[in-house]
Amino acid sequence: MHHQDQEEECYNIFMDDEDFSSFSSRYYDPYNHHQQQQQTSNTTMPTTSTGGATPSENHAYGRLTDKLSYSYSAARDLSLEFAASLSGQNGKWASDILLETAKAVAHRNTGRVQQLMWMLNELSSPYGDVDQKLAFYFLHALFCRMTDSGKRTYRTMISALEKNCSFESTRKVVLKFQEVSPWTTFGHVFCNGAIINTFEGESKFHIIDISNTFSTQWPTLLEAIATRTQETPHLRLTTIVATKSGGAGVQRVMKEIRSRMEKFARIMGVPFEFNVVHLAGDLSELNLAELEVKEDEALAVNCVGKLHSVTTGDNHRDFLMSMFRMLHPRIVTVVEEEADLDVDVDEDDFPRSFQEILRFFRVYFEALDESFPRTSNERLRLEQAAGTAVMDLIACPPTESVERRDTAARWSHRLQRGDFRPVSFNDEICADVRASLKRYREGWSIVPCSDSPGIFLSWKDQPVVWASAWKP
């Protein structure tokens, strides 16, 4: 099995340096008019002084203080209340203040909300340290939830995304993220190993790809097929591109990826066919006939980072599992971020949901902080994409959300209800995954799941990504 250095090399070959207008659901910059790298000069904890960065410099959604009116004495009292957090008692002042704000929003305590938002507005920045960034993105989402403007704001973000993001910028973000972090490559290594083992000895493969990593998984698999098998089999790859809005941008991207994948397959000497199925809607609405599954092909369904985009209402996720079962695949590989981000519409339960969203994105931002240099444009793009996800989770209707992640235990239960059973992966796959982690900073590890099949990628002992394999 080839590790991430080969994966990056393969991907660079097939993603050569061309620039064209495109679409990306992960790398939207919602603050486009702040594209200059406004970096804070140091990483010290901000004070409660009102003399920090001005809201007009930091917030694309305008001056919240124009809408929030209260006395200076109230702000001073609030500053004293959170003095312990701001002085670094636990080093995570943003979490403390944001959670209090979420509670105030849930309890409809308008005065308290105004005070807390004023403080967050003064302290936050998309170019500061982790706490300043979390304060910035979560404050934006809370404000939109409070004003019922989340749905409109999110759609504006997606619209700007399709206009402003190029294939070249997306390529750079994908490659740099894979270079400095195993967040996505962990799933690639695991799934490729499971698929190769399942297809051993087969002359025809068909992989149905449901993922969000722009086909970066497959160059390494093509090379593995070319070098590990005695007789090179025929590989057919069907990529499902499901978007809520559709649009010409995504079609241009997939056309370019198809061309490059076919070119790379020729270089590797692998008979190859690449098909794209565009779905303007939910994955649970997929028409199986469009996949053109053939009886003489060994079939795999590969799901990496996309199952959580299926809406949670009306048992759509359970229905999708039954659809997979109808395809009679040899194997189904599943990779999802490990978090319980199903936000309840009940305001009484909102603080608990909010706390889990905040926990998960803090881990993500801290991992980015230790992986990327401070001035990295790619890191800024990833953080802004995370801010878009936060907006979806906190301020948009649950029935339309594409970011509500489930835990490994819940996904496992859903797969088992769909008559799938876990595949026991061999020691070679685990060895490959461990070897791929050695090129990254200390702090990354893999651990077995205690209550579910599969393994976790962990960052400093906190599970962040789950990978597993299943068969009917």
pLDDT at 91: 66
Contact of 441 with 372, CB cutoff 8 Å: no
Contact of 384 with 126, CB cutoff 8 Å: yes
In this structure, the dihedral spanned by the alpha carbons of residues 27, 339, 362 and 150, taken in order and rounded to 10 degrees, is 60
Task: Count CA atoms within 13 Å of residue 404 on its CB side.
Answer: 20
User: Rounded distance, CA 264 to CA 464, Å?
Assistant: 32
* CA pseudo-torsion sign 403, 404, 408, 413: negative
pTM for this prediction: 0.83
**CATH number assigned to the domain covering 4-22+181-338+405-471:** 3.40.50.150
Contact of 295 with 330, CB cutoff 8 Å: no
Residue-wise pLDDT tens digits, 162-189: 666 667 777 788 889 999 999 999 999 9
User: Rounded distance, CA 203 to CA 429, Å?
Assistant: 22
pLDDT at 293: 93
Q: Which of 265, 289, 290 is nearest to 276 (CA)?
A: 290
Domain boundary assignment for the chain: 4-22+181-338+405-471, 32-164+345-400
pLDDT at 53: 35
Tens place of pLDDT per residue across the chain (472 aa): 445 455 555 545 444 433 322 222 332 233 333 333 343 333 333 333 333 333 333 443 444 444 444 444 454 555 555 655 555 556 689 999 999 999 999 999 999 999 999 999 999 999 999 999 999 999 999 999 999 999 999 988 877 766 666 677 777 888 899 999 999 999 999 999 999 999 988 899 999 999 988 889 999 999 999 887 678 899 999 999 876 555 566 677 788 889 999 999 999 999 999 999 988 888 888 899 999 999 999 999 999 999 998 887 668 899 999 999 999 999 999 999 999 987 665 677 899 999 999 999 999 999 999 999 988 999 998 998 899 999 999 999 888 888 999 999 999 999 999 999 999 888 889 899 999 999 999 999 999 998 889 999 999 999 999 999 999 9
What residues contact 81, with CB distance under 8 A and at least 6 apart? Answer: none
What residues contact 136, with CB distance under 8 A and at least 6 apart? Answer: 58, 59, 124, 125, 126, 128, 387
User: Rounded distance, CA 254 to CA 215, Å?
Assistant: 9
pLDDT at 80: 52
Look up tokens 């302290």; give the residue: 123
